[in-house]
Chains A and B, each alone.
Chain A
Amino acid sequence: MEIKVLGPGCPNCQELEKRVKKALEELKVDATVTKVTDYAEIGKYIMMTPGLVINEKVVHKGKPLPRVEQIKEWIRAAGK
């Protein structure tokens, strides 16, 4: 599974990345988490940061940040 956290490095994006890692840990799922900070790349997916992309599909954009439980659901859905 390929997960991208989109955000220029503001506190919100860092928090989102933390939650994604926590979700993966709790689910014991292996995935590559990439942090995308380049606006050219971010702009391809979303217009509101931070964003979360799982297997090239945008699952979240903007604030408020998704809870760890919510992220787990997305990961489970993508894993099927």
Chain B
Amino acid sequence: MFKWFADLITYDLLRLPRGAHLSESLNFILYDVPKIYFLLLVIVFFVAIIRTFLPPERIRKMLSRKKEFVGNILAAGLGVFTPFCTCSAIPLFIGMLESGVPLGVTMSFLIASPMINEVALILLWGLFGWRVAVTYILSGMLIAIIAGLIIGRLKMESYVEQFVFKVKQANQNGETKFSWNDRLVYAVGYTIEIFQQVWLYVLLGVGLGALIHGYVPVEFVTKYAGNANPFAVIIAVVIGVPLYSNAAGTIPVVQALFSKGLALGTTLAFMMAVTGLSLPEFIILRKVLKPRLLLTFFGTVALGIILTGYFFNLVF
């Protein structure tokens, strides 16, 4: 349907020649943008509905009764359905520790929550296909689980800022009751809000991606960032960290580079660094974590991302 729409406009309506750079780039934009917008509206809506069943109070309750290993897996899984900005995850982080969720389990949640989010997944699915999207979810969860387990073993509870344990969340055990009508109102509002935040970035990203598709020669990317360059993954992670909160704009560009020969592992590592690690996140987390735990947190996650990158470059 989306292909038909793109072809109709480029070749039939505007009568651009097939195979030319300009028409291929335009066709690419007209195909990808409506498709991603469609996926965004539908999937964000459904994730929002699911989210009404998982208010923070319930997440906290679910995790506080769990043992370490099972808890880490559950925390990473729950992280998928929660909002992706770390600043909104920190009060929940405080709430979890205060109610006795183990630090390692809390960390698994804190890693998975921003790294695996629906917007990044939709873009991955829409542009790379479901295999890459599933690979991304599974490796992201694995990083979150393992990093959480490691931090749990290191017994670093004393490196959490002390005030965190003293906060008394007195009146927060009552869950908000949702009727189906409330759920729909919430989901529609949430979808509109997300769409307003990302539509422009998607357009810019796909536009830039289209330019790359049409004009950058394949040899260029392969030469500098292909499988032959052993440092490509590390460089990708270093570049990815400062590009915070623009997963919507970054992924289309990365997809274009991917189609020009960027290795899969490097691509995944780059995207994980964009979503999972960032400077603003670092600064915000400093308010609740002491430097040593903060560095351990970032170090383990960065190492996990880099290893994932190399793994997929070797296997595929």
Contact = CB atoms under 8 A, between A and B. Distances in A.
**Do chains A and B interact in one complex?**
yes
Interface of A: 7-10, 12, 39-40, 42-50, 58, 62-65
B56 A48 contact: yes
B163 interface: yes
Given A44-B167, A47-B169, A64-B186, A39 B92 contact: no
29 contacts: A7-B87, A8-B284, A10-B85, A10-B87, A12-B88, A39-B163, A39-B287, A40-B166, A43-B91, A43-B94, A43-B95, A43-B167, A44-B169, A46-B172, A47-B91, A47-B94, A47-B95, A47-B169, A47-B172, A48-B88, A48-B91, A49-B87, A49-B90, A62-B56, A62-B83, A63-B83, A63-B88, A64-B186, A64-B189
A10 B193 CA distance: 15
Interface in B179-197: 186, 189-190, 192-193
A62 B172 CA distance: 14
Contact of A39 (B60, B193, B288): B288
B65 interface: no
A9 B283 CA distance: 12
B85 A39 contact: no
Size band of the interface chain B makes with A: 20 to 34
B279 to A, nearest CB: 14
Nearest to B56: A47
Q: Could you say which of A8, A12, A39, A45 has the most chain B C-beta atoms within 10 Å of its C-beta?
A: A39
B57 interface: yes
A43 B94 CA distance: 7
B223 interface: no
B155 interface: no
B108 to A, nearest CB: 17
Interface string B130-149: 00000000000000000000
Contacts of A44: 167-170
Contacts of A10: 85, 87-88
